[in-house]
Amino acid sequence: MATLMLGKAINEGLRKAMEDDPKVVIMGEDVGRLGGVFRVTDGLQKDFGEDRVIDTPLAESGIIGTAVGLAIRGFRPVCEIQFDGFVFPAFDQIVSQVAKMHYRSAGNVKLPITIRIPFGGGIGAVEHHSESPESYFCHTPGLKVVSCSNPVDAYWMIQEAVASDDPIVFFEPKRRYWDKAEVDPAAGAPRSLWDAAVVRPGSEITLITYGPSVKTCLEAAAAAESEGHDIEVVDLRALSPIDWPTVLRSVEKTQRAIVVAEAPTYASLASEVAARVTEKCFYSLEAPVLRVCGFSTPYPTSRIEEDYLPDLDRILDAVDRSLAF
């Protein structure tokens, strides 16, 4: 049992994956000597060598393109995209090659590639360093998309992602890198990579969320409890495919739902969740499914990012509106 920050938990998970399989290689900008911008890969090049932890040129399309070739030859590349907004130069490689190669080859070619992307705001950075591009990848058939929210999940989910034969986009909530929790490697993974988790039971409303917004929703639920409200919080964990049975059971129980995410609302993953819950739980719902998300603007300057991100006030306002029906 060790107390680890989320970023260190990913580091330890990557270390275990590399120890278990010599075909696992890590590649990205500054992942070696520097240990990554957020030091998530710190010490791995020293212990596993430059052939397995590779500092690449500043060329995201080259990183992913090289990973495709390595995966075809039997390796398991783990690619770090330094910041969320930097993934777009690699977008063509990801959606045109990584996502489609297995289907295009009639199942004969597997691409076990893990693409790690620190995402979301809250660290005082700006546009291209604080974005939430998960909806783009969830929309693309052939990709699987996950996001951890705490150190325990981070440790186990990264190992499961690396071991998967499918390409996985692994979103890491960068403003939660320094959150701490006890991690027990001997205990085994608490659940499958594809299972959602009810991280707070409740009876009145379900908050459906993921990644950096899980902690915010838990804080909102605790604040609402002081006002006599019993709120359930569901952490999706897997964004594509979503564990719908867990989500729908929760909403059928509470009869109200609010979806919370940092990404802009329009045509988003939050919109898909709201639509599916409305469709499947129509006769159980006592109020419309509400969404509390980022605004439909480019990410703002750091001085006003707290006005952009979903916070306790916006979530609790949605709680009040839902209970008013």
Q: Give the residue numbers marked as catalytic.
A: 129
Please list, in sequence order, all residues whose beta carbon lies within 8 angstroms of the beta carbon of residue 136, skipping any fewer than 6 positions away. Answer: 91, 95
Count the residues in the chain.
325
What is the DSSP secondary structure assignment for residue 200, as one 8-state letter?
E
Written as one string, the DSSP assignment of 66-132 is: HHHHHHHTT-EEEEEPSSGGGGGGGHHIIIIIITTHHHHTTT------EEEEEE-S-SS--TTSS--
Instruction: Decide: residue 33, CB within 10 A, 0-12 exposed, 13-18 middle, 19+ buried.
Output: exposed
Q: How far apart are CA 57 and CA 172, in angstroms?
A: 22
SS3 3: strand
Please list, in sequence order, all residues whose beta carbon lies within 8 angstroms of the beta carbon of residue 225, skipping any fewer than 6 positions away. Answer: 231
**Radius of gyration from C-alpha coordinates of the chain:** 19
Residue 237 region by backbone torsions, left for phi larger than 0, else alpha for psi between -120 and 50, else beta: left
Cis peptide bond prior to 241, omega within 30° of 0: yes
Q: How far apart are CA 261 and CA 242, in angstroms?
A: 15
Please list, in sequence order, all residues whose beta carbon lies within 8 angstroms of the beta carbon of residue 199, skipping any fewer than 6 positions away. Answer: 214, 218, 233, 234, 235
Q: ∠ CA(54), CA(123), CA(174), 5° rounding?
A: 45
| Contact by Cβ (8 Å): 115, 68 | no
Neighbours of 17 (CB within 10 A): 20
